[in-house]
Structure 1
Amino acid sequence: LEPFQGQFILEINPDIGFAMIDRLFGGLGTADFSSRPFTDIEKVVFKKIINWILGAFPEAWENILRVRPLLRDIESNPQFTQIVPGNDMVILITLVSKIGSSEGLINICIPYIMIEPIVDRLNAQQWFAKTRLEQTTRHINILRNRIKRTSLDLYAELGSAELTVSELLYLQPGDVIRLDRKSSDYADIRIGNRVKFKGVPGQHNKHLAIKIIEAIEPETIDPGEDGELTDE
């Protein structure tokens, strides 16, 4: 972690590591291969994942110091990962990560002796004081642009139907399920669990598409008689 002298450890739970690789290879992130080591191809892919994670470090440290993390090696045997004597102090940052049905920890271990030269800059008062000074229009615009580039999944819901288990078991190809809407009704277009638009399904350039007809105004939240918030 330049310009610091020394090394730190980024430890990723094998369940999370294999889930990341499985997702990149087109899987659902549910594969369980944690009982075996990485193959050579998986190591190459995993190095790219780690470099992508390390790419977030400069932004996280920018209020304190300009840093440049470098990946030295990937090691699966903890006996070969000792970077300081066992009685030295370290800073341990633990993150809970979940990918699909796989869940595990990502640990960042930084030796105290490594960051000791700048430890006086890590007090909360200086951190927040500098953060407030940097809330300029430029930073707000950067944040706004990043939010605009965020990808969201949209779902078009044509309708729904309730079936008993018996009816579900006897479904056959060619059966028709009657939905709770008419063919002339608009479809709900959802972002997450919220209906944001109404639209009409169709085709565009030989692809299935949906035309947005109207936008749904967000719900207003007003205080009730007893002071509690209620949705209207």
Structure 2
Amino acid sequence: MAEEVLSQNEIDALLSALSSGEMDANQLKQEEQDKKVRVYDFKRALRFSKDQIRSISRINENYARLLTTYFSAQLRTYVHISVASVDQIPYEEFVRSVPTMTVLNIFSMAPLDGRIIFEINPNIAYAMLDRILGGKGTSLNKIENLTEIESTIMTNLFEKSLDNLRDAWASVAEIDPMLEEFEVNPQFLQLVSPNETVVVVSLNTTIGESSGMINICIPHVVLEPIMPRLSVHYWMQTETQKDRKPEEYENLTKNIEATDIDLQVILGQTNISVHDLLALQTGDVLHLNQSIDEPLVMQSDQESLYYVQPGHKRNKVAVQILEEIKGGSPDDE
């Protein structure tokens, strides 16, 4: 157990209190001997470490960015999704926090065991539905009267987003998510026991002028096989393994060296008015800012590389490299 280290000021204050009688040494000794008890709620067991919660949060931040891009393309309107919180709570508490009637998508996460729940606030769900059907994205909560067509449209929309979920978790596990159920009443869902610990990821979601929450419920049984991969040690080890081998660098260098690039030699530049440009005719002469006694500049992708001098070689126009240009464009010197 780590010992608490006191500063010099705290030591002086403690000695002063003992000498003045404000504090009893026997009382301090008794307090040290007393056992300190910390209350632990077995119904709210914390089965994920802070390190693992941070990893789950990082994965879902990436997922939120992918969803933002996906829904923006599908709905053709302003979409912003971000992680609001990541908490571990009993499954019973999650069910109580969900509205009586809402949009619930249940996904399997093969090859992982168990299923996860996506709870979409009706304001968000109907804004998406209205936008897909050609509306402005107005939210109208009629969750109890969903037609079969509306349910199918919503199901297809979230089913197509499974690639984003797969990509977000790719750094930890290769999963093949699949939409299994579409529900509107959370009371019909009993994925795990009421006291089972689940991770709830809350996403702040804005669709046009409508806003709400998307909650992702991930039971402990789903994450249990990949728990070791949610630690910082695994992430650091993975980053180390990404270091390229010498032969990979050699192959990469050869491929880069064989790449063709375009080179341009600038003969000179000048400025003229649009009126003069329109009046140009065959035989007109333009005065450039380049002196015939000065070397020309060779560029690639608008970046100056070398000073060169023009000439001929084997009846072709050619240039001879004189000097490498260091520090960018010669105009910057």
Query: TM-score range, shorter-chain basis?
Result: 0.5 to 0.7
Question: 1:2–1:68: 8 Å Cα contact kept in structure 2?
Answer: yes
Give 1:102-181 correspondences, 5 Å limit. 102-131=210-239, 134=242
Other structure's SS at 1:83 match: coil
Structure 2 counterpart of 1:56, from 164, 171, 176: 164
Q: Take 1:135 and 1:91, find their aligned partners in 2: how far apart are those partners?
A: 33
Other structure's SS at 1:72 match: strand
Structure 2 length-normalised TM: 0.39
Once the two structures are superposed, what CA deviation does each residue of 1:162-195 show, in whole Å capped at 9, x if it has no partner? xxxxxxxxxxxxxxxxxxxxxxxxxxxxxxxxxx
Question: 2:202–2:213: 8 Å Cα contact kept in structure 1?
Answer: yes
Partner AA of 1:56 in structure 2: N
More deviation in 87-96 or 50-59?
Answer: 50-59
Q: Take 1:43 and 1:121, find their aligned partners in 2: how far apart are those partners?
A: 36
Instruction: Give structure 2 stretches of 5+ with no counterpart.
Output: 1-108, 245-333
Question: 2:143–2:184: 8 Å Cα contact kept in structure 1?
Answer: no
Question: 2:115–2:191: 8 Å Cα contact kept in structure 1?
Answer: yes
Give 1:2-151 correspondences, 5 Å limit. 2-34=110-142, 36-131=144-239, 134=242
RMSD: 2.1
Shift in alpha-carbon separation, 1:135–1:41, aligned structure 2, 3 A: farther
Q: Which of structures 1 and 2 has the bigger CA Rg?
A: 2
Q: Take 2:121 and 2:243, find their aligned partners in 1: how far apart are those partners?
A: 36
Shift in alpha-carbon separation, 1:132–1:10, aligned structure 2, 3 A: farther
Q: Take 2:143 and 2:172, find their aligned partners in 1: how far apart are those partners?
A: 40
Once the two structures are superposed, what CA deviation does each residue of 1:125-165 show, in whole Å capped at 9, x if it has no partner? 322542575598xxxxxxxxxxxxxxxxxxxxxxxxxxxxx
Give 1:181-200 correspondences, 5 Å limit. none
Q: Take 1:66 and 1:14, find their aligned partners in 2: how far apart are those partners?
A: 31
Shift in alpha-carbon separation, 1:37–1:65, aligned structure 2, 3 A: same
Q: Percent identity?
A: 37
Question: 1:15–1:34: 8 Å Cα contact kept in structure 2?
Answer: no
Once the two structures are superposed, what CA deviation does each residue of 1:55-90 show, in whole Å capped at 9, x if it has no partner? 211101111111011111100011011211111101
Other structure's SS at 2:145 match: coil
The structure whose residues are more often helix, as a share, is 2
Other structure's SS at 1:107 match: strand
Q: Take 1:132 and 1:104, find their aligned partners in 2: how far apart are those partners?
A: 40
Q: Higher relative contact order by CA 8 Å / sep ≥ 6: 1 or 2? A: 2
Shift in alpha-carbon separation, 1:87–1:132, aligned structure 2, 3 A: same
Residue 6 of structure 1 deviates from its aligned partner by 1.2
Structure 1 length-normalised TM: 0.54
Residue 100 of structure 1 deviates from its aligned partner by 1.4
Other structure's SS at 2:123 match: helix
Question: 2:228–2:234: 8 Å Cα contact kept in structure 1?
Answer: no
Other structure's SS at 2:227 match: helix
Figure out how many residues of one structure are paired with residues of the other and give that number: 137
Shift in alpha-carbon separation, 1:62–1:25, aligned structure 2, 3 A: same
Residue 28 of structure 1 deviates from its aligned partner by 1.0
Instruction: Give structure 1 stretches of 5+ with no counterpart.
Output: 137-232
